[in-house]
């Protein structure tokens, strides 16, 4: 599996101001609707429901909010770069400025987990994250993400 198979160029965005986790989820919902045809409000509710099980902020300024959604045939992703970090309740208590959101079909099993592992490994690369943070252009971010070689688990 490659990031290019789950991430569309139009699902990569840079936001100047997301003031809270809920506001970030609303931005993700809007992108999910425009890029993948998912209902924005359903997307936000699914993310909030998943987040209630435990925070998806994995540390080092990165969050991986994810949820299962009806109406999907494949796992899809959304990448958001925040110009101003926000408090996300991450495991290391640091604010996040990178969010890679994944949405999977309700009945997806291993594909959802493989995608989550791929994104996690990719964004664990400190050098890649530094490059992403230095390039606030969505097209450049998409290219860097889809050309990144994931590190072995």
Residue spans of the domains in the chain: they are 3-147
Topology of the domain comprising 3-147: Mannitol-specific EII; Chain A (3.40.930)
State the pLDDT at residue 149.
Answer: 62
Is there a catalytic annotation at residue 66? yes
Q: 146 — phi, psi (to 5°)?
A: -80, -15
Query: Active site residue: 66, 80, 88, 102, which one?
Result: 66
Query: Which of 103, 96, 88 shows the shortest CA–CA distance to 11?
Result: 103
Strand boundaries in the chain, DSSP class E: 7-15, 57-59, 62-63, 66-69, 76-86, 96-105
**Residue 150 pLDDT exceeds 70:** no
pLDDT > 50? residue 153: no
What pLDDT score does 54 carry? 87
Instruction: State the pTM of this model.
Output: 0.92
């Amino acid at each position: 599996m490659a990031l290019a198979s789950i991430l569309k160029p139009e699902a990569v965005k840079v936001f100047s101001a997301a003031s809270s986790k809920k506001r970030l989820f609303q931005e993700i919902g809007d992108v999910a609707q425009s890029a993948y045809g998912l209902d924005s409000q359903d997307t936000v509710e699914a993310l909030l429901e998943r987040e209630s099980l435990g925070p998806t902020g994995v540390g080092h300024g990165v969050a991986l909010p994810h949820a299962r959604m009806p109406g999907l045939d494949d796992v899809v992703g959304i990448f958001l770069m925040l110009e101003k970090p926000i408090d996300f309740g991450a495991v290391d208590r640091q604010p996040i400025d990178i969010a890679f959101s994944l949405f999977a079909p309700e009945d997806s099993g291993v594909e959802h987990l493989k995608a989550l592992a791929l994104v996690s490994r990719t964004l664990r690369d400190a050098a890649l994250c530094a490059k992403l943070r230095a390039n606030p252009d969505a097209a450049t971010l998409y290219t860097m993400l889809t050309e990144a070689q994931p590190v072995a688990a």
